């Protein structure tokens, strides 16, 4: 560590900036945000400084710096960009015992201004000690992505209740546990989601219960088509905070790795006997876990509301009085389309797209009007259609689509992705000849002829940016 990290109080204290250009303005903006009383000393000042002077926010001395300017200053900045003058600022400040920073001159500085990430009351400072500012910027960007945009609001929300909590929860471990549970719990999640009024009601009852048995919450989260970086940031954050994750079979390891190590994981995709857990049993699990006050993530492939049975789960939870929220995910159709270069709508070729199932849970033919779909001219994105490829091909061929292009995308966006193209009349043969067994999407329409394969290294972008 090259510098000692501290946050320095400058509220209502005098700070001196020597220099009237862009470098000075950058420091000035930050100092004003922190409530400092800033004096700029420089023969010339740029328009932004002049505006601030006119608004009465900054004092400007239109002359070169003299040693007396430093008397009583809490901090000083040299931002003239002129070597001899910046040196003079540094010498004078050090002589006066005022901590000084000269822009981009660590040898003339007592402190640096770090890269900062701000969420209202929460500030994170990043420094490479002057060794690699670009690397520090990369770290800042990575932290920006990690921190919820409403984190500062959460800090302010907690501050509102500090007095009330102090009054009812004894100091020490009990109070620590109270706040731990709060920040990790559903009330904090509600604040982060932007529902402060609802969260305030929950908080009052939580305080009255002195932190006992908070109500749980279920987030029904779409994990996307498989690649971890195709999941939303909101989904990732909820996964990181969850106590329990109830997930489907096809959720990739890369995604489950985002969960807390001590979070319980319940795989409802299959039981030891390899039978999937029935839907009503899944609903019961979600309700039971939430009733224990846990933060539950129900993690589903793709989007929860596209052939994902998310609607049934939401209804069951609501009927049981459990708070539930849905986080969308990238559905297989849009993911497979992007990964193979098939535009689902395409000017002059396809002006509509229909997501349709080729399978009904009980194994019967789905209740779909294929004749109407065949005549609609829409691109058909068929989920769960591979098992019924022969029937599908027959139905659509009979209604005039025999020669329409088809693309079958297996394991779309995953490293093992495969893409096959042909015509509707040959769909069944295409599926059989290539032994398609993984999850696959069938795209039917002129646009299917545009299928190409996007290389795996383009599809798989690592989650954390390289810093
Ligand atoms: C039960 S549905 C779930 C759909 C999911 N909710 C979604 O929005 O993508 C499962 C079907 O989605 C399609 N599917 C899901 N992931 C896929 C992938 N990575 N590649 C191709 N098709 C996929 C397949 O048709 C699979 O049979």
Q: 360 catalytic, yes or no?
A: no
What is this structure's pTM? Answer: 0.64
What pLDDT score does 365 carry? 57
Q: Of the ranges 128-132, 135-139, 439-443, which is most confident?
A: 439-443
What pLDDT score does 349 carry? 87
Q: Which of 95, 166, 270, 360 is catalytic?
A: 270
Computed over every residue of the chain, the mean pLDDT equals 89
Is residue 141's pLDDT more than 80? Answer: yes
Q: How many Å apart are CA 299 and CA 70, to the nearest integer? A: 60
User: What element of type H or E holds 96?
Assistant: helix 83-96
Pocket mutation for ligand 1, best pick of 252, 383, 385 (most atoms within 8 Å of C-beta): 383
What pLDDT score does 364 carry? 56
Indicate the pLDDT class of residue 206, thresholds 50, 70 and 90: confident
User: How far is the centre of ligand 1, averaged over its atoms, from the C-alpha of 438 (Å)?
Assistant: 10
Indicate the pLDDT class of residue 361, thresholds 50, 70 and 90: low
Ligand 1 neighbour 413 (Cβ under 6 A): yes
What pLDDT score does 456 carry? 46
Query: pLDDT, tens digit, for every residue of 220-237?
Result: 999 999 888 899 999 998
Report the atom number in ligand 1 closest to the C-alpha of 332.
9
User: How far is the centre of ligand 1, averaged over its atoms, from the C-alpha of 333 (Å)?
Assistant: 8
Ligand 1 neighbour 440 (Cβ under 6 A): yes
Give φ, ψ of 387 to 5 degrees: -60, -30
Ligand 1 neighbour 303 (Cβ under 6 A): yes
Ligand 1 neighbour 178 (Cβ under 6 A): no
What pLDDT score does 467 carry? 25
Q: 180 catalytic, yes or no?
A: no
More confident residue, 71 or 121: 71
Domains of the chain: 14-113 (3.40.50.720), 215-330 (3.40.1010.10), 333-450 (3.30.950.10)
What pLDDT score does 63 carry? 95
Q: Whose CA is nearest to atom 5 of ligand 1?
A: 302
Indicate the pLDDT class of residue 360, thresholds 50, 70 and 90: low
Query: pLDDT, tens digit, for every residue of 297-356?
Result: 999 999 999 999 999 999 999 999 998 999 999 999 999 999 999 999 999 889 999 999
Q: Whose CA is nearest to atom 12 of ligand 1?
A: 383
More confident residue, 209 or 373: 373
Say if CB 403 and CB 423 are below 8 A apart.
Answer: yes
Say if CB 454 and CB 418 are below 8 A apart.
Answer: no
Ligand 1 neighbour 411 (Cβ under 6 A): yes
- Least Cα distance to 379 among 459, 451, 305 occurs for 451
91: Cα within 13 Å, side-chain hemisphere? 9
Ligand 1 neighbour 224 (Cβ under 6 A): no
Give φ, ψ of 329 to 5 degrees: -135, 170
Q: Which of 69, 202, 243, 248 is catalytic?
A: 248
Report the atom number in ligand 1 closest to the C-alpha of 226.
19
Report the atom number in ligand 1 closest to the C-alpha of 308.
6
Ligand 1 neighbour 73 (Cβ under 6 A): no
Is residue 427's pLDDT more than 90? Answer: yes
More confident residue, 188 or 184: 188
Pocket mutation for ligand 1, best pick of 224, 248, 301 (most atoms within 8 Å of C-beta): 301
User: How far is the centre of ligand 1, averaged over its atoms, from the C-alpha of 148 (Å)?
Assistant: 29
Q: What is the mean pLDDT of residues 353-364?
A: 78
Indicate the pLDDT class of residue 464, thresholds 50, 70 and 90: very low
| Two structure tokens written together for 282 | 């899944």
Ligand 1 neighbour 441 (Cβ under 6 A): yes
Is residue 457's pLDDT more than 50? Answer: no
User: What element of type H or E holds 72?
Assistant: none
Q: Whose CA is nearest to atom 22 of ligand 1?
A: 440
Is residue 48's pLDDT more than 70? Answer: yes
Please work out, in degrees rounded to the nearest 5, the angle formed at the alpha carbon of residue 350 by the alpha carbons of 347 and 353.
125
Alpha helices in 169-208 (DSSP H): 173-183, 186-192, 196-208
The percentage of the chain sitting over the pLDDT mark of 90, rounded to a whole number, equals 64
What pLDDT score does 459 carry? 40
Q: Whose CA is nearest to atom 2 of ligand 1?
A: 307
Give the distance from CA 189 to its chain's centroid.
14
Ligand 1 neighbour 301 (Cβ under 6 A): yes
User: What element of type H or E holds 418?
Assistant: strand 418-423
Polymer length in residues for the chain: 467
Q: What is the mean pLDDT of residues 436-465?
A: 70
């Amino acid at each position: 560590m090259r510098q000692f990290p501290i946050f320095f109080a400058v509220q209502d204290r005098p700070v001196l900036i020597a220099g009237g250009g862009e470098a000075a303005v950058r420091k000035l903006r930050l100092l004003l945000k922190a409530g400092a009383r800033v004096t700029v000393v420089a023969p010339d000042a740029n328009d932004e400084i002049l505006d601030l002077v006119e608004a009465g926010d900054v004092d400007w001395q239109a002359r070169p710096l003299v040693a007396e300017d430093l008397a009583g200053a809490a901090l000083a900045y040299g931002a003239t960009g002129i070597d001899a003058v910046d040196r003079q600022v540094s010498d004078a400040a050090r002589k006066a015992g005022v901590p000084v920073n000269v822009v981009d001159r660590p040898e003339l500085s007592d402190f640096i201004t770090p890269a900062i990430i701000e969420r209202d009351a929460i500030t994170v400072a990043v420094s490479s000690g002057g060794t690699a500012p670009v690397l520090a910027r990369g770290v800042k960007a990575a932290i920006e992505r990690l921190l919820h945009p409403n984190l500062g609001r959460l800090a302010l929300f907690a501050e509102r209740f500090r007095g009330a909590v102090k009054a009812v929860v004894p100091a020490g471990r009990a109070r620590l546990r109270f706040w731990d549970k709060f920040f990790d719990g559903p009330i904090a999640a509600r604040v982060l989601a932007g529902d402060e009024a609802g969260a305030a009601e929950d908080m009052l009852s939580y305080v009255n219960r002195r932190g006992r048995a908070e109500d749980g919450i279920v987030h029904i989260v779409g994990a996307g088509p498989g690649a971890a970086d195709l999941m939303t940031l909101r989904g990732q954050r909820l996964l990181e905070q969850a106590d329990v994750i109830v997930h489907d079979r096809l959720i990739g390891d890369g995604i489950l790795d985002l969960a807390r190590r001590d979070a319980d994981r319940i795989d409802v995709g299959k039981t030891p006997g390899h039978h999937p857990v029935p839907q009503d049993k899944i609903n019961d699990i979600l309700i039971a876990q939430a009733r224990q006050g846990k933060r539950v993530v129900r993690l589903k492939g793709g989007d929860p509301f596209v052939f994902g049975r998310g609607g049934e789960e939401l209804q069951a939870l609501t009927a049981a009085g459990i708070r539930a929220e849905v986080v969308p995910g990238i559905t297989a159709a849009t993911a497979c389309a992007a990964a193979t270069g098939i535009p689902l709508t395409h000017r002059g070729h396809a002006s509509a797209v229909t997501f349709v199932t080729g399978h009904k849970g009980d194994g019967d033919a789905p209740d779909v009007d294929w004749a109407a779909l065949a005549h609609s001219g829409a691109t058909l994105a068929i989920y769960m259609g591979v098992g019924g490829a022969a029937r599908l091909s027959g139905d659509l061929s009979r209604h005039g689509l025999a020669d329409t292009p088809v693309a079958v995308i297996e394991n779309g966006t995953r490293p093992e992705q495969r893409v096959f193209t042909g015509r509707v009349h040959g769909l069944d043969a295409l599926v059989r000849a290539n032994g398609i067994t993984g999850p696959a999407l069938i795209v039917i329409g002129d646009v299917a002829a545009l299928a190409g394969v996007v290389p795996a290294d383009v599809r798989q972008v690592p989650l954390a940016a390289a810093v």
